[in-house]
């Protein structure tokens, strides 16, 4: 890999931190194309009045151990002033394992992409209690903020959330989780702020069109070198 990097005429990578690290090590002019799967025309802003009723937390993704989805189920069991919705393959099995049914906990199996709008329209904020990846871009696409576990190892796509100053908390610490929920319930304007900032940042630098533009510029640079 080191040989290829030093002898390449260009280098495109998933994220800015990776580009920075390679440039420090090898001084090769690496550029990030900011990996995403969101097209500009897919961005939307579902109308929603934040701060009414229980805090509505949404998770969308696969049910895998590194996602630590049980933390959200435990939160729904522990607090009646939150409502949790889990969307993705295997969610029903997760609920069966936990052996608890509550009105403030809903599970949905795999849904089509075109059906996600209704779930994000319902949500106040996206909650990711473990490893996060493209869900950052998905939340941005629908104008929803995202709260992420600060102690998990994440995919490069987490850069968007960091740049857009989304909240990072320790989902393994009930006291910290409770403090976050109380803060949001007392300051519901934060929900619109996080969602708007995340979406605006994504529209600027985290779209498929932006990725294409960065690739074309790199190819043109090499061709005219």
CB 157 within 8 A of CB 133: yes
CB 165 within 8 A of CB 196: no
pLDDT bin (cut points 50, 70, 90) of residue 221 is: confident
Specify the range with the lowest mean pLDDT, choosing from 30-34, 95-99, 145-149, 181-185: 95-99
Instruction: Give 197's contacts (C-beta < 8 A, 6+ positions apart).
Output: 145, 164, 165, 166
Q: State the pLDDT at residue 99.
A: 53
Query: Is pLDDT above 70 for 48?
Result: no
Over residues 152-186, the pLDDT tens digits come to 999 999 999 999 999 999 999 999 999 999 999 99
CB 143 within 8 A of CB 195: yes
Q: State the pLDDT at residue 101.
A: 59
Angle in degrees, CA 71, 77, 78, rounded to 5: 85
Angle in degrees, CA 210, 122, 48, rounded to 5: 80
Task: Decide which of 195 and 10 is more confident.
Answer: 195
Over residues 14-41, the pLDDT tens digits come to 999 999 999 998 888 899 999 998 899 9
* Tokens matching residue 43: 């961005």
Overall average pLDDT of the 116-130 stretch? 93
Of 141, 157, 143, nearest to 15 by C-alpha is 157
Measure the CA–CA gap between 35 and 155, rounded to whole angstroms.
10
Of 12, 29, 38, nearest to 214 by C-alpha is 12
Q: State the pLDDT at residue 115.
A: 82
Compute how many other C-beta atoms are within 10 angstroms of the C-beta atom of residue 4. 8
CA distance from start to end of the chain: 23
Burial 44-72 (b: 16+ CB within 10 A, else e): eeeebebbeebbbbbbbbebeeebbbebb
Beta strands at 31-32 and 55-60: parallel, antiparallel or unpaired: unpaired
Q: State the pLDDT at residue 147.
A: 98
Q: State the pLDDT at residue 59.
A: 96
């Amino acid at each position: 890999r080191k040989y290829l990097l030093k002898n390449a005429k260009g280098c495109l990578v998933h994220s800015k931190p990776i580009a920075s690290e390679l440039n420090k090590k090898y001084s090769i002019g690496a550029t990030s194309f900011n990996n995403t799967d969101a097209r500009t025309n897919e961005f939307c802003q579902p109308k929603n009045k934040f701060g009414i009723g229980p805090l509505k937390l949404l998770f969308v993704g696969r049910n895998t151990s590194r996602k630590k989805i049980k933390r959200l189920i435990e939160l729904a069991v522990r607090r009646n002033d939150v409502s949790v919705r889990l969307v993705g393959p295997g969610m029903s099995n997760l609920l069966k394992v936990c052996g608890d049914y509550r009105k403030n906990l809903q599970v949905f199996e795999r849904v089509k992409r075109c059906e996600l709008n209704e779930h994000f329209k319902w949500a106040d904020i996206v909650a990711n209690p473990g490893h996060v990846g493209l869900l950052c871009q998905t939340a941005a696409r629908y104008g929803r903020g995202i709260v992420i576990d600060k102690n998990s190892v994440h995919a490069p796509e987490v850069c968007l959330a960091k740049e857009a100053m989304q909240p990072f908390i320790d989902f393994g610490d009930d006291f910290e989780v409770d403090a976050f929920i109380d803060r949001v319930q007392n300051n519901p304007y934060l929900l619109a702020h996080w969602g708007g900032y995340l979406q605006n940042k994504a529209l600027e630098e985290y779209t498929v069109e932006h990725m294409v533009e960065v690739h074309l510029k790199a190819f043109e640079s090499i061709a005219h070198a």
